[in-house]
């Protein structure tokens, strides 16, 4: 199937996302006469074939949804071969790299292919992704996944150590993404891969020491407008709270003269007379509010962006 071309009905051989609930989703390749076991009982593949994407399919103890595999759903359900990037970082990377249909991107390393699928969708239908992975087995599995998802015409997976051997391409990339233990070693090669007209680079690193060395390497290699950001998610809890009304006027009056206090008292009495139900000191009021958590653990890594313009070859 082609993950980039939505269709209505499930066919044999298609990849589907079986949705049990928000925390339980599974990728499933539909094969006739096979059975998928879940907490809602047995799900027969034959019952999935011919059904519509997004519809309910009955199990022996309940039912599940069968969803079309988008890059976001694939990120949530893919088999992990390495640590992966999730939607919050992925969306920021695509925006900051200024990707669009037709863009040519270099990615190192491929890992589990989470970011790769989102990059391919962003640059389709006539862009291209060069993705590099030094681990032979991971490179082979990623290539097979791209092929089974109908994406092989938009991506090339190459087993290569870009830190020592470079990207093997020169002046063709609009953007370069680095997810490596030592990205500063790949930065000079990234400058060589980017087009003469210029391009963007992004490096993902979990440690600030990696960021410091990468930023220095970017400066030396001619990158400009270097910025490092951290994308953190914070969940707000919407609930009703009750607060006590506290008036600070009585504390301020001690600073005023007796004449001023008398004048202010008269003004307050006039103002209160014009209100239907004035709030008094010590009363309580209940209202809806959005409260952040006391602790928010969400660090994934630092994203360092920069722009490159090859002045020496463009003049």
Question: Please, which pLDDT band fits residue 243 given cuts at 50, 70 and 90?
Answer: confident
CB 175 within 8 A of CB 103: yes
Looking at per-residue pLDDT, the higher value among 162 and 311 belongs to 162
Question: Please, which pLDDT band fits residue 315 given cuts at 50, 70 and 90?
Answer: very low
Structural domain boundaries in the chain: 15-69, 75-232+298-314, 237-263+278-291
Calpha distance 202→227 (Å, rounded): 10
Residue whose token pair is 């994406």 = 151
Q: Let me know the angle formed at the C-alpha of 302 by 300 and 308, rounded to the nearest 5 degrees.
A: 145
Q: Is the pLDDT of residue 159 over 50?
A: yes
Question: Please, which pLDDT band fits residue 279 given cuts at 50, 70 and 90?
Answer: low
Q: Is the pLDDT of residue 135 over 70?
A: yes
Q: Could you read off the pLDDT of 46-96 as tens digits, one per residue? A: 999 999 999 999 999 999 999 999 999 999 999 999 999 999 999 999 999
CB 240 within 8 A of CB 286: yes
Q: Is the pLDDT of residue 314 over 50?
A: no
Amino acid 308: pLDDT: 94
Residue of 21, 209, 3 whose CA lies nearest to 113: 3
DSSP sequence for the chain: --TTS--SB--TT-EEEEEEETTEEEEEE--TT-EEEETTEEEEHHHHTTPBTT-EEE-SSSEEEEE---HHHHHHHSPPSS----HHHHHHHHHHTT--TT-EEEEE--TTSHHHHHHHHHHTTT-EEEEEESSHHHHHHHHHHHHHTT-GGGEEEEE--HHHH--S--S-BSEEEE--SSGGGTHHHHHHHB-TT-EEEEEEESSHHHHHHHHHHHHHTTEEEEEEEE----PPEEEEEEEE----HHHHGGGS-HHHHHHHHHHHHHHHHT-SS---TT-EEEEEEEE--S-------EEEEEEE--HHHH-
Question: Please, which pLDDT band fits residue 245 given cuts at 50, 70 and 90?
Answer: confident
Q: Is the pLDDT of residue 273 over 60?
A: no
CB 130 within 8 A of CB 158: yes
- Domain 15-69 falls under CATH 3.10.330.20: yes
CB 284 within 8 A of CB 183: no
DSSP sequence for 266-311: HHHHHHHHT-SS---TT-EEEEEEEE--S-------EEEEEEE--H
Q: Which residues, including other chains, have CB under 8 Å from residue 280's CB and lie 6 or more apart?
A: 245, 247
Strand order in the sheet with 199-205: 155-159, 128-133, 104-108, 175-178, 199-205, 302-308, 223-230
Q: What is the pTM of this model?
A: 0.81
Q: Is 105 exposed, middle or buried (0-12, 13-18, 19+ CB in 10 A)?
A: buried
Amino acid 303: pLDDT: 97
Q: Is the pLDDT of residue 256 over 80?
A: no
Amino acid 173: pLDDT: 97
Amino acid 208: pLDDT: 96
Same fold, 15-69 and 75-232+298-314: no
What's the N-to-C CA distance of the chain in angstroms?
Answer: 46
- Domain 75-232+298-314 falls under CATH 3.40.50.150: yes
């Amino acid at each position: 199937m082609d993950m980039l071309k939505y269709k209505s009905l499930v066919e044999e051989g298609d990849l589907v996302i079986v949705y049990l609930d928000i925390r339980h989703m599974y990728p499933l390749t539909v094969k006739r006469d096979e059975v998928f076991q879940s907490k809602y009982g047995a799900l027969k593949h034959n019952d999935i074939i011919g059904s519509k994407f997004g519809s309910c399919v009955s199990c022996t103890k309940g039912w599940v949804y069968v969803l079309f595999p988008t890059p976001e759903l694939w990120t949530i359900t893919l088999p992990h071969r390495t640590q992966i990037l999730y939607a919050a970082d992925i969306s920021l990377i695509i925006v900051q790299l200024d990707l669009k249909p037709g863009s040519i991107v270099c990615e190192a390393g491929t890992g589990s292919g989470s970011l790769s699928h989102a990059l391919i969708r962003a640059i389709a239908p006539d862009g291209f992704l060069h993705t590099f992975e030094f681990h032979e087995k991971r490179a082979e599995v990623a290539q097979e996944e791209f092929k089974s998802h109908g994406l092989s015409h938009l991506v090339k997976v190459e087993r290569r150590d870009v830190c020592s051997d470079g990207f093997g391409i020169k002046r063709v990339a609009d953007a370069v993404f680095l997810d490596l233990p030592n990205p500063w070693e790949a930065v000079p090669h990234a400058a060589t891969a980017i087009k003469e007209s210029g391009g963007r680079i992004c490096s993902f690193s979990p440690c600030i020491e990696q960021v410091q060395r990468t930023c220095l390497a970017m400066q030396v290699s001619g990158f400009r407008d270097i910025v490092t950001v951290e994308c953190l998610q914070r969940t707000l809890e919407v609930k009703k709270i009750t607060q006590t009304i506290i008036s600070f006027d009585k504390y301020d009056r001690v600073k005023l003269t007796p004449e001023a206090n008398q004048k202010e008292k008269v003004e307050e009495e006039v103002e209160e007379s014009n209100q239907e139900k004035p709030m008094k000191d010590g009363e309580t009021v209940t209202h809806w509010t959005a409260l952040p958590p006391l602790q928010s653990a969400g660090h994934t890594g630092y994203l360092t962006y920069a722009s490159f313009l090859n002045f020496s070859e463009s003049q």
